């Protein structure tokens, strides 16, 4: 089981946004392993996003580029990389989209899992293995 917490983030206009966050263990081609705090984003259909700095630190292998449509409707080009993620205690190969900002965990990563979020500041985030 993967556990995390909901963080409340206030933007410059004073609105509060709730972010379900977990810590993800990631390994790269240079055998470097690190934890990264990631926001669970059910609107992201991919596996994982990471900023260029973490991709470089981990020595991830570049696999090319892909177009993707953002929630705003804007189409952007993303560099893709391969990584291993510690997921439910097992190494899982994933595709990483390079994107600046906080890392995101998407629906491809959550496939086969049950996500439970207590939607208040400090609430729990639980991701449990769950096969239909």
How would residue 118 be classed by pLDDT, with cut points 50, 70 and 90? very high
- Given a contact cutoff of 8 angstroms between Cβ atoms, the answer to whether 5 and 125 are in contact is yes
pLDDT tens for each residue of 36-52: 999 999 999 999 999 99
Q: Quick check: 89 pLDDT over 80? A: yes
Q: List, in order of start, the domains of the chain with CATH numbers.
A: 2-129 (2.40.70.10)
Token pair 């996003």 in the structure block, residue: 49
Token pair 């973490």 in the structure block, residue: 54
pLDDT tens for each residue of 29-86: 777 889 999 999 999 999 999 999 999 999 999 999 988 877 778 888 899 999 999 9
């Amino acid at each position: 089981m993967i556990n995390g917490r909901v963080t409340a983030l206030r933007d410059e206009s004073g609105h509060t946004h709730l972010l379900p966050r977990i810590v993800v263990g990631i390994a790269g081609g240079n055998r470097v392993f690190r934890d990264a705090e990631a926001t669970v984003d059910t609107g992201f259909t991919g596996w994982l996003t990471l900023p260029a700095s973490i991709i470089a630190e981990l020595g991830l292998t570049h696999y090319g580029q892909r177009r993707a449509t953002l929630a705003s409707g804007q189409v952007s080009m993303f560099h893709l990389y391969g990584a291993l993620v510690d997921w439910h205690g097992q190494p899982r190969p994933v595709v990483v989209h390079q994107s600046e900002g906080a890392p995101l965990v998407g629906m491809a990563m959550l496939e086969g899992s049950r996500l439970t979020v207590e939607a208040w500041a400090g609430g729990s985030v639980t991701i449990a293995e769950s096969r239909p």
